[in-house]
Structure 1
Amino acid sequence: MKISITKYVLPLKHTFSISRESHDFQDSMIVGLSRDGETGYGEATANPYYKMTFDNMKAEIEAVRNEIENFNFTLPETFHAFLVSKNLSNFAICALDLAANDLYGKLLNKPLYDIWQTDNSTYPITNYTIGIDSIPKMVEKMKETPWPIYKIKLGTKDDVEIVRELRKHTNAIFRVDANCAWTAEETIANAPILQKLGVEFIEQPLKADDWEGMKKVQQHCVLPVIADESCIVESDVPQCGLHFNGINIKLTKCGGLTPARRMIAEAKAMGIKVMVGCMTESSVGISAIAQLIPQLDYVDMDGAMLLKEDIAHGVIIEQNGNIVFPTLGGSGIKMR
């Protein structure tokens, strides 16, 4: 195989703010793996919370470039195990694993969901994310993109008021994501009000390691609670299954499609809900997520919708939330 590594700076339509950070651009690493006239593409975005930059992800891959290019690629699963043995970060592994899966499907001329024998005729609709801003700006963003389900980023002193005001302008389903900004007491107190305002669930209200707080939330919260920052890798699933009603898997955090599929199976065996979320990726990362959606209860794959300009062709998300899957094999990605 031959590797290519390219940096893209993705411009966002609006400043994107959550409880701990804001940004107008998203750095992204696109990896290409080429063999037999086909190229598979994968993506990992930089993330300050996890101390991941384009430069350090690229340096990790360059350090083992020769070994990767000489690897006898047959299956994405064996390639992923090889990458793990090289002690790469999960972000770098994710980009390579997504590229390997896309390449594998293209070589077989089959989409991944078909290779995995999943039926894509039914699937959950993605939510559309409204980042933290002034309340008038958040209302404006919502009106700009009418959508059946919104994820509302919270973590301010006016959280309940934000949801109350947004509710005046839409009948859409709401999900709220506090990104670790609340206490157990706040979560329990906010939940009945949010429930009356049409909120479906709360995502990651407490700090990632606040398991004692989550015990209280599990006992007293009237809304389901979904783990995000508490659920990074496969080994986190059992504990999250005891403290949350579901998990939100991020491909970059867990290391790609290969471990994500195992996490989905484990969560389902525990009887908890499964969501896959994005990290403001382009259509490269989003098209990979889309291959998983027949297996999911919820999905957050609006990353490319939040960009001023996309860098790739892949899945198309229509205004009503329907997905048009590409005809190419793998994740169906073509770079623009």
Structure 2
Amino acid sequence: MQLKFKKYTLPLKHTFSISRESHDFQDTLIVSLSLDGKSGFGETTSNPYYKITMESLSDEIEAVRGDIENFRFEKPEAFHQFLSQKNLSNFALCALDLAAHDLYGKLLGKPLYEIWGTTIDHYPITNYTIGIASIEKMRSKMQETPWPIYKIKLGTEDDVAIVRELRKHTSAVFRVDANCAWTAEETIENAPLLKDLGVEFLEQPLKADDWAGMEKVMHKSVLPVIADESCIVEADVEKCGLHFNGINIKLTKCGGLTPALRMIQKSKELGLKTMVGCMTESTVGISAIAQLLPQLDYVDMDGPLLIKEDIADGIQILEGGKLIFPELGGSGVTLR
């Protein structure tokens, strides 16, 4: 099996700001695995919050090049188990696992959702994310891209006022993501006001390790709460079941599709709502997320809508959220 990887810098259409950071570009690493004339592609992004850089990712993957190229590839699950013993970060593991799944499906000539026994007759629509900015800019972004569901990033001193103003300009469903910026008291106080403004749920309002605060929120919030930063890997799902109404799985953070599938299954067993989110990936990573759609309640896969120029073809997100799935097997990715 042949391994290649390359760094790309994706310029964003707008400055993307959340409660703890802002950026105008997203660095991403694309990995390809080739075998028997087929190539599978995977993706992972840099992330300052988790101390992941392009250099660290490249060094990790280069260090196991020989092991990967000598591996007898048959199924992605076995490949993931093999890589799990190589001291890789989950971000690096994700790119390799996504590439392995894409390759596997292409070798079989079937999309992953079909291999997993699901159909695309019904699937959730992705939200479109509005990052923190002035109310005028947030409203402008929303009007620039009319969408049925918006995720509103919050974590300011005027959060409810922002949502109240945005509500004047659309009847779309709102979701609110505070990215750990609120306290339990703020969350409980804000929830009924936001519910009246058409907010569907709150995502990660408290700091990731504030379990005592989340216990208060679970008992008193009138809106459902979805875990993000509190739910990184498989072991986190069960604990989140006691403190949240649902989980947001990020492929980069958990280590790819292989663990994500197990997290989805565990989430359903616990009666949690299940969401998969993105980290502003290109169509490479988003096409992998799309294969999971039949198994999800919610999805945040708007990465290709937020970047100025894509680097790949695969899943197509049309106006209003309708999707065109690629005809290739696997995730259906081809690089431009």
Fold match (TM-score > 0.5): yes
AA matched with 1:139: R
C-alpha distance in 1, partners of 2:318/2:7? Answer: 28
Using the TM superposition, give the Cα deviation of residue 36 of structure 1 relative to its aligned residue in structure 2, in angstroms. 0.4
* 3-state SS of 2:264 partner: helix
Match of 1:2 in 2: 2
Measure, in 2, the Cα distance between the counterparts of 1:49 and 1:304. 22
Classify the secondary structure of the residue corresponding to 1:242: coil
What is the DSSP-based 3-state SS (H/G/I as helix, E as strand, rest coil) of the residue aligned with 2:319?
coil
Secondary structure class of the residue paired with 1:160: helix
Runs of 4+ in 1 over 2 A off after TM superposition: none
TM alignment of 1:70-89, pairs within 5 A: 70-89=70-89
Deviation at 1:50, TM superposition (A): 0.3
Alignment of 1:177-216 (within 5 A): 177-216=177-216
Structure 2 residue 323 is matched with structure 1 residue 285: no
In the alignment, structure 2 segments of 5+ residues that lack a partner are none
1:135 aligns with 2:135: yes
Partners in 1 of 2:272 and 2:102 — Cα distance? 28
Report how far residue 92 of structure 1 moved.
0.2
1:3-60 CA-to-partner distances (Å, cap 9, x unmatched) read 0010000000000000000000000000000000010000000000000011101100
Q: Say which SS state the counterpart of residue 327 (structure 2) adopts.
A: coil
Residue 123 of structure 2 is matched in structure 1 by: 123
1:254-265 equivalences in 2 (<5 Å): 254-265=254-265
Structure-2 residue corresponding to 1:234: 234
Task: Work out the percentage of aligned pairs sharing the same amino acid.
Answer: 74
Q: 2:174 aligns to what?
A: 174
Unaligned runs of 5+ in 1: none
Post-superposition offset of 1:119:
1.2
Aligned equivalents of 1:320, 1:143: Cα separation in 2: 13
The match for 2:161 is 161
**Cα distance in 1 for residues equivalent to 2:165 and 2:314:** 35
Q: Residue 242 of structure 2 aligns to a residue in which SS?
A: helix
| SS of residue paired to 1:50 | coil
In 1, distance between residues paired with 2:39 and 2:53?
24
Query: What is the TM-score normalised by the length of structure 1?
Result: 1.00
RMSD: 0.4
> C-alpha separation between the residues in 2 aligned to 1:230 and 1:92?
20
Match of 1:45 in 2: 45
Q: How far 1:172 moved relative to its partner?
A: 0.1
The 3-state SS of whatever aligns with 1:174 is strand
CA distance in 2, matches of 1:211, 1:103: 40
- Normalising by structure 2, we get a TM-score of 1.00
What is the alpha-carbon distance in structure 2 between the residues aligned to residue 280 and residue 6 of structure 1? 17
**Shift in Å at residue 242 of structure 1?**
0.6
Q: 2:125 and 2:335 mapped to 1: Cα distance?
A: 25
Aligned counterparts, 1:256-275, within 5 A: 256-275=256-275
The corresponding residue for 1:17 is 17
Using the TM superposition, give the Cα deviation of residue 87 of structure 1 relative to its aligned residue in structure 2, in angstroms.
1.2
